[in-house]
């Protein structure tokens, strides 16, 4: 029986409008794609809490000749988050129905803290698991084992939803029930997915 639902952030609960490349173009123009792929490689260790991403980003910006302060670039790109209202309606309905509802997301410290504190995710989930705090990132099954330990129930009682197939496989390897879903499929499909696992929402 599923008693807890664990949700990814980007692609499930939130969106970066226009995508990462478009967000970076005001600062780097047609070099935005090249720059982002490079800086994402730098970011990988910080997703597991190893190092501080902002100094790395600042150094890369200088190398590309960008004079805009790193804080302004970071806010303009990494804080460019639109919540998916329909997905959060499902979150609220799950909580009203008595399910534990939790967040599981790969984030380095600065973006994760912004989501948790500024966007208020701290108050919308029972457990918020950011990879930089967990100490390991998805799709490593160890991430999911640690998160299930935080939730405090058997892994088989947790349904995980993510837009990355690799992350879904990592969760299944750790014993969770897991499904691949993206918000572009529409909220009705998420409700159907949950219902297929016996999860019923409390709708107003």
pLDDT band (50, 70, 90) for residue 202 = confident
Structure token digits, residue 168: 């879904």
The half-sphere exposure of 24 on its side-chain side, counting CA atoms within 13 A, is 21
- d(CA 179, CA 162) in angstroms, rounded, equals 7
Q: Are strands 127-130 and 100-105 parallel, antiparallel or unpaired?
A: parallel
Q: Report the pLDDT value the prediction gives residue 1, as an integer from 0 to 100.
A: 94
pLDDT band (50, 70, 90) for residue 199 = very high
pLDDT tens string 10-44? 999 999 999 999 999 999 999 999 999 999 999 99
Q: Report the pLDDT value the prediction gives residue 96, as an integer from 0 to 100.
A: 95
pLDDT tens string 65-124? 999 999 999 999 999 999 999 999 999 999 999 999 999 999 999 999 999 999 999 999
pLDDT tens string 148-190? 999 999 999 999 999 999 999 999 999 999 999 999 999 899 9
68 three-class SS: coil
Tell me the pTM: 0.95
Task: For the chain, give every domain's residue range.
Answer: 4-15+82-196, 19-77
What is the fold, at CATH topology level, of the domain defined by 4-15+82-196? Rossmann fold (3.40.50)
User: Of 85, 91, 81, whose CA–CA distance to 203 is shortest?
Assistant: 91
Q: Which run of H or of E encompasses 52?
A: none
Strands (DSSP E) contained in 59-183 are 82-83, 100-105, 127-130, 158-162, 177-180
Specify the residue for token string 């600065």: 110
Phi, psi torsion values for 9, nearest 5 degrees: -95, -75
Q: Are strands 127-130 and 4-7 parallel, antiparallel or unpaired?
A: unpaired
Q: Report the pLDDT value the prediction gives residue 204, as an integer from 0 to 100.
A: 59
- Residue 5: Cβ-neighbour burial (10 angstroms; 0-12, 13-18, 19+): buried
């Amino acid at each position: 029986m599923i008693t807890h639902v664990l949700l990814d952030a980007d692609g499930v609960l939130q969106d970066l409008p226009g995508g990462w490349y478009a967000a970076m173009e005001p600062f780097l123009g047609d070099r935005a794609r090249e720059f982002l792929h490079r800086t994402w490689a730098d970011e990988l260790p910080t997703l597991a809490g190893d190092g501080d991403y902002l100094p790395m980003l600042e150094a890369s910006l200088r190398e590309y000749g960008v004079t805009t302060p790193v804080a302004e670039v970071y806010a303009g790109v990494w804080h460019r988050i639109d919540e998916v209202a329909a997905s959060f309606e499902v979150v609220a309905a799950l909580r009203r129905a008595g399910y534990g509802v939790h967040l599981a997301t790969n984030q380095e410290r600065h973006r994760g803290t912004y989501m948790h504190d500024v966007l208020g995710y701290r108050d919308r989930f029972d457990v918020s698991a950011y990879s930089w705090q967990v100490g390991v990132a998805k799709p490593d099954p160890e991430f999911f084992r640690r998160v299930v330990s935080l939730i405090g129930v058997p892994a088989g009682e947790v349904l995980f939803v993510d837009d990355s197939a690799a992350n879904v496989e990592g969760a299944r390897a750790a014993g969770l029930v897991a499904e691949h879903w993206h918000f572009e499929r529409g909220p009705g499909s998420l409700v159907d997915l949950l219902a297929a696992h016996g999860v019923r929402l409390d709708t107003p």
